[in-house]
Structure 1
Amino acid sequence: MSEEENPAAPEPGPMEVGADALRGLAHPLRARILDELSVHGPATATILGNRLGESSGSTSYHLRQLARYGFVEVEPGPGQRDRWWRLRPGGWRVRGTELLRGPATREAAEIVLDRYYGGRRERLRQWHALSGERPDDPEVRRWIQAAQDSVAHVRMSPEEAEEFARDLQAFVRERSLPFQGRTARSHPDTESVELQTDLFPNLLGPEEAPVVPDTPADGDDGAPADQ
Structure 2
Amino acid sequence: MNQPVPSRSLDAGALKALAHPLRVRIFDLLSERGPQTASTLAGLVGESSGSMSYHLRALAAHDLIREVDGRGTARERWWERPRGRIDLPGPDDSMTPSNRAAAQIVTSEFFRLRHESLMAYLNRSEVGVPEEWRDAGIVMTSHVDVTAEQMGEIRDEIRDVVDRVIERYRGQTGPGIRRVALRAELFDLPVTADGDE
- After superposition, the Cα gap between the structure-2 partners of 1:50 and 1:96, relative to the gap in structure 1 and judged at 3 Å, is same
Question: Which residue in 2 is equivalent to 1:34?
Answer: 27
Counterpart CA distance in 2 for 1:120 and 1:40 is 15
Of 146, 168, 173 in structure 2, the residue corresponding to residue 178 of structure 1 is 168
Bigger relative contact order, structure 1 or 2, given CA contacts below 8 A and separation 6+?
A: 2
Matched residues, percent identical? 30
Of 149, 152, 160 in structure 2, the residue corresponding to residue 159 of structure 1 is 149
Contact 2:9 / 2:86 at 8 angstroms: preserved in 1? yes
Question: Which residue in 2 is equivalent to 1:150?
Answer: 140
Point out where structure 1 has 5 or more consecutive residues left out of the alignment.
1-6, 211-227
The answer to whether the aligner puts 1:23 opposite 2:16 as a matched pair is yes
CA displacement, residues 2-47 of structure 1 (integer Å, 9 cap, x when unaligned) = xxxxx89x46521101222111111222112112212211111221
The answer to whether the aligner puts 1:53 opposite 2:46 as a matched pair is yes
Counterpart CA distance in 2 for 1:56 and 1:100 is 38
Q: TM-score, normalised by structure 2?
A: 0.83
Shift of 1:172: 0.7
Residue 98 of structure 1 aligns to a residue whose secondary structure is: coil
Q: TM-score, normalised by structure 1?
A: 0.73
Question: Which residue in 1 is equivalent to 2:81?
Answer: 87
Counterpart CA distance in 1 for 2:122 and 2:94 is 31
Shift of 1:146: 0.6
Question: Which residue in 2 is equivalent to 1:199?
Answer: 186
CA displacement, residues 173-203 of structure 1 (integer Å, 9 cap, x when unaligned) = 1211133234xxx446332211222211123
Counterpart CA distance in 2 for 1:79 and 1:126 is 32
Contact 2:8 / 2:85 at 8 angstroms: preserved in 1? yes
The answer to whether the aligner puts 1:71 opposite 2:55 as a matched pair is no
Shift of 1:86: 1.2
Counterpart CA distance in 2 for 1:64 and 1:144 is 39
CA displacement, residues 44-97 of structure 1 (integer Å, 9 cap, x when unaligned) = 122112222223232222212112222112233x46545321112113101204
Q: List, as ranges, runs of 4+ consecutive aligned residues in structure 1 with deviation greater than 4 Å.
A: 99-102, 206-210
User: How many matched pairs?
Assistant: 195
Structure with higher Rg: it is 1
Of 92, 101, 105 in structure 2, the residue corresponding to residue 98 of structure 1 is 92
Question: Which residue in 2 is equivalent to 1:4?
Answer: none
Contact 1:100 / 1:109 at 8 angstroms: preserved in 2? no
Q: Cα RMSD (Å) of the superposition?
A: 2.9
- Larger strand fraction of residues: 2
